[in-house]
Amino acid sequence: MSARNTTDPECAVIHFIVSRPPHVELTAHTVARLNITSLRAPKVDSAVHRPVMNCKRRLLVWVASISFGIVCLPLHALQVELTTEVEGGFQPMVKATSNLPDGMKLLVRVTRKESAFQFQTPVEVQSGHFEVGPLSQSGGDLNPGIYSLQIVSVKPSEQPNAVRVAIGRKGDELHGPLTRRYAGATWVRLVTTFQIGQAANRELDQARREQVKSAQTLWWRKKCVAICSGGERYSQHTGDTFDRSACLKTCISNPPTSTR
């Protein structure tokens, strides 16, 4: 431990005692040279005694402050580290390295509005690593352009027991710029971008959007057939009349605002 420097002669003894290493022994010669005869508690008048006592009080407050700061440090605090690397051309792999505990659950999202690309998958950290991919769209290459990558943790209450022990019941042991406080818990969140190919191609993006829209329409039509078939079976069971054509028309004309 080292104490701060001072020019106050009354504090010289106290600061020297705090600053010197515990294994150093003071010889009589050293004591004499340092003029620390006050260690023998000589009789002093009140004018001399008061500054020494004030200095002792300041020292006690300083030591207490340091002790309090040490006690208040989190015992298992984790400064979150998470780095990503994208490789593999137009069907890329996203590889990540992290100091998060093994088994911690995360969600990886990759999106690009211009080409209507959306991808999401759960992952688990294993030995400080995880990866997803290769990424593709409709079984083919991704369009060139800039993609958004987001990695977020699953809420602490849904993490495995061993992970909750490491990060805290509400993620309170997670710290750093890659953490966010939300709904009374601490989450891991990384948002970044990566480039595929060179500049974006408007014609390719337009074609991809139309392809995705067509696929979503077909998906919703199939859902409507299943919904109306269920309604028809129920009507047969209850003896009620059922207009299948009207059901399909109404269902298809009211697709969900977000599909798949």
Residue pair 146/92 in contact (Cβ under 8 Å)? The answer is no
Q: Please tell me the predicted confidence (pLDDT) of residue 68.
A: 43
Angle between helices 12-19 and 46-72 (to 10 degrees): 30
Range 78-196 classified under CATH 2.60.40.1940: yes
In angstroms, the first-to-last Cα distance of the chain is 61
pLDDT, residue 256, reads 83
- Residue 168 to residue 209: CA distance in whole angstroms: 43
Token pair recorded at residue 105? 């659950």
- 158-183 pLDDT, tens digit per residue, is 999 999 999 999 999 999 999 999 88
E strands, the chain, are: 78-79, 82-87, 93-98, 105-112, 117-124, 129-132, 145-153, 174-175, 179-182, 185-196
Q: If you average pLDDT over every residue of the chain, what do you get? A: 78
Q: Is the pLDDT of residue 220 over 70?
A: yes
Name the burial class of residue 95, with classes exposed (0-12), middle (13-18) and buried (19+) by CB atoms within 10 angstroms of its CB.
Answer: middle
pLDDT at 253: 86
User: Average pLDDT for residues 41-65, to the nearest whole number?
Assistant: 49
Instruction: Establish how many alpha carbons lie within 13 A of residue 164's alpha carbon, considering only the half-sphere containing its beta carbon.
Output: 11
Position 73 scores a pLDDT of 42
Q: What is the pTM of this model?
A: 0.62
- Least confidently predicted of 20-34, 39-53, 127-141, 229-243: 20-34
H or E element: which one contains 239?
none
pLDDT class for 43, splitting at 50, 70, 90? low
Which tens digits make up the pLDDT trace of 238-253?
Answer: 888 888 888 988 998 8
Alpha helices, H only, 73-190:
161-167
pLDDT attached to residue 87: 92
Domain boundaries, the chain: 9-72, 78-196, 202-252
